[in-house]
């Protein structure tokens, strides 16, 4: 968490830690799903796992520890995959990092009507104003949300945009994984 501000909330710190991790892997990566667990509880209840994760010497007693899950299937739509997830009680939140192409709001008026999903994706990919973005979204069981956005063209820790409402649809889908 070298570039993560200590004054940030535990969720913001976890989201930025995941963004930093994903950044170290480079671009053109698959989506990655993380369970978020209470660090103090993890150390107390699972000391061997905490040691494996290098948490035994962490000075911070509050916070969230991201634990990467198995691969997100590339052959299934993300919303369908997320709908299959149920978390155990020990998981207090989850986060997902995913890369997408996006267009500026000014391009909305140019979108051709009636395109299939595949043709729309191709149209966006070919658009001269498209931008590649990595979105990291985290949610907690209590409803808290946070996000980090990193543009490929401005790939630097100081250029990461954060905020709770940046990717509302993905935050909703992640929150639904905690629905009873």
Higher pLDDT, 77 or 121: 77
Is the confidence at residue 61, as pLDDT, over 80? no
Classify residue 115 by its DSSP letter: -
pLDDT digits (tens, 9 = 90+) for 82-109: 999 999 998 999 999 999 988 877 877 7
- What tokens appear for 103 in the block? 């267009």
Give the rounded distance of the alpha carbon of 157 from its chain centre. Answer: 15
Count the neighbouring beta carbons within 10 Å of the beta carbon of residue 123.
15
Is the confidence at residue 3, as pLDDT, over 60? no
- Label residue 12 left, alpha or beta by phi (over 0 means left) and psi (-120 to 50 means alpha): alpha
pTM of the model: 0.83
Instruction: Please give the pLDDT value at position 31.
Output: 95
Instruction: Please give the pLDDT value at position 1.
Output: 44
Instruction: Please give the pLDDT value at position 156.
Output: 87
């Amino acid at each position: 968490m070298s570039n993560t501000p200590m004054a940030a909330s535990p969720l913001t710190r976890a989201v930025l830690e995941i963004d930093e991790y994903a950044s170290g892997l480079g671009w053109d990566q698959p989506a990655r799903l993380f369970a978020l667990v209470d660090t103090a509880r993890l150390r107390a209840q699972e000391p061997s796992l905490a040691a494996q994760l290098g948490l035994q010497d962490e000075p911070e007693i509050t916070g969230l520890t991201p634990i990467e899950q198995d691969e997100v299937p590339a052959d299934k739509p993300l919303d369908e995959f997320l709908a299959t997830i149920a978390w155990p009680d020990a998981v207090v939140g989850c986060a997902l990092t995913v890369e997408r192409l996006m267009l500026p709001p000014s391009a909305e008026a140019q979108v051709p009507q009636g395109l299939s999903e595949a043709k729309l994706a191709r149209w966006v990919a070919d658009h001269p104003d498209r931008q590649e973005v990595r979105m990291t979204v985290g949610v907690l069981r209590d409803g808290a949300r946070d996000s980090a956005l990193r543009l490929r063209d401005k790939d630097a820790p100081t250029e990461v945009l954060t905020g709770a409402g940046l990717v509302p649809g993905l935050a909703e889908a992640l929150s639904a994984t905690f629905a009873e």
